Amino acid sequence: MDTNMLLKSIPKIDDLLRRPELASLSPTVAVDLARQTAKEVREGLLSGELQTVPSEADFCRTILMRAEDRPRLREVLNATGVPLHTNLGRACLSESAAQAAWDAARRYSNLEYDLDTGGRGSRHSRVEALLRTLTGAESALVVNNNAAAVLLALSAIGNGGEVVISRGELVEIGGSFRIPEIVAQCGCRLREVGATNKTHLRDYRDAIQPETRALLKVHTSNYRIVGFSGSVSLSDLVELAHERGLPVIEDLGSGCLLPLPGGEPTVEESVKYGADIVTFSGDKLLGGPQAGILVGRVQWLEPLKRHPLTRALRVDKLTLAALEATLEAYRDPRRAADEIPALRMLTVPPDTLRRRAEALAELLAGLPAEIVETEEPAGGGSLPDTALPGFAVAIAPAACSAAELARSLRAAERPIIVHVQRERCLLHLRTLWDEDFAYLARTIRGVLL
């Protein structure tokens, strides 16, 4: 058969899509893979590498194989404007943090090796020194995530006894992390005091008894109690606890190292007010890799370092490398705000966002796109009552619904995740990189035109 005849006998995409074997695939994936497979067969026939055309059944087998091979963890473009979007991986690492993780991944390192003595070293010593400098704490420890940090602190200190907490702080974090359940896991009992909206110092004082092991304060990072409300200040709580020889454990949640819009408490403040152990996340406002950080007094942290759970919750070298580089940037606050994507996104002036919206809108000229003012949440359960003023490019598609446009953009080679609002797709500038504007414009044109 001559090549032309062979080319004509390549199965039609529509026929392939009707095959029952492909019914389990999402239509966009099936179309993509069918086109790609057909293109390769065409090229094979033209180059002479292929002398026959695979059957429809063979085509389907290849397509299914490829669907399984499609990398599941893929880069996406975050056009939602939410910098710490938990579903999209929370904080993006800075270039130096990503480089540090890359270097640690590919070669040996002095992870637990002391270059001076030639003997065993500690995997924590470098990050710990940085954390001490940045927070003013005596000691520090890093584990897998903040949930693990709370688990470790309560298991080691609360063990067999009671931990006192205000009823206004029985927090649930997305993904089934609930303070009461964590405490139960840690082999201690929760002693709830006060009311949902108000807790007084005397409530804590009355609850302390011989079995009390610690006073727990949880930062209500993802909600606020407003109106007739009140909680006990950290310094008052510390004073009471120390009178009774008890530690205060504070779960700060987001844990910012620099003052941010929204007035989130900083780790340094908690240390200054005397919290004995402060725990926070590495990949929320800090802008580093997923990690749980504990800082505080030597007296309480040293036993934690030797606790058997610590080994089970330990972080790997990639995390430590990325965290070290992220913390290094914080030694110069201006450098941190510049280099660390999460901080840059949270502090970027609205004017800059407007200028960037204009640049993106220009690339979309001729399409039904306009610049709109927006208010954006920080995400990751941080800064719940802070709306950051920003700008977006809003696209109102004429030939399809906004939800359909959003779906097509999700199916793009590098999926684009937009914010659908009132029949428009919003591309928020806060979480986009300028270098992606050309790709965004090309992809949107491809879908709409």
Question: Phi-psi bin for 225: left (phi > 0), alpha (psi -120 to 50), beta?
Answer: beta
> Residue 250 CB, nearest distance to ligand PLP (Å)?
10
Q: Using an 8 Å Cβ cutoff, are 402 and 364 in contact?
A: no
Among residues 89 and 389, whose Cβ is nearest to ligand PLP? 89
Comparing every residue's Cβ against ligand PLP, the nearest one is 253
CB nearer to ligand PLP: give 168 or 381. Answer: 381
Pairing of strands 177-178, 77-78: unpaired
* Shorter beta-carbon distance to ligand PLP: residue 62 or 222: 222
Closest distance of CB 279 from ligand PLP, Å: 8
For residue 177, the minimal CB distance to ligand PLP (Å) is 5
Q: Closest CB to ligand PLP among 101 and 392?
A: 101
Q: Which is nearer to ligand PLP, 220 or 347 (CB)?
A: 220
CB distance 192 to 239 below 8 Å: no
The residue among 158 and 253 lying less far from ligand PLP, judged by its C-beta, is 253
CB of 133 to ligand PLP, least distance (A): 22
383: left (phi over 0), alpha (psi -120 to 50) or beta: left
Structure-token pair, residue 259 = 């003052």
Q: From residue 398, how far is each of 262, 323, 409, 419, 424 by CA, in Å?
A: 38, 46, 16, 17, 10
Nearest CB to ligand PLP, comparing residues 130 and 148: 148
Helix-strand-coil split of the chain, %, nearest 5? 45, 20, 35
Residue 86 CB neighbours (<10 A):
15
> Least CB distance from residue 308 to ligand PLP, whole Å?
20
Min CB(253)–ligand PLP separation in Å: 3
Residues that bind ligand PLP (CB under 6 A): 145-147, 171, 173, 177, 218-219, 221-222, 251, 253-254, 281, 292, 381
Length of the chain: 449
Q: Which is nearer to ligand PLP, 254 or 266 (CB)?
A: 254
Beta bridge partners of 419: 426
Closest distance to ligand PLP from the beta carbon of 215 (Å): 16
Q: To the nearest whole angstrom, how small is the minimum distance from the Cβ of residue 424 to ligand PLP? A: 31
Bridge partners of 395? 369, 425
Instruction: For residue 173, give every residue at least 6 positions away whose Cβ sits within 8 Å of its Cβ, in sequence order, or none.
Output: 147, 221, 222, 253, 381
Return the C-alpha torsion angle 360, 361, 367, 372, nearest 10.
120
Please say whether the beta carbons of 90 and 289 come within 8 A: no
Question: How far is 183 from 294, CA to CA, in rounded Å?
Answer: 17
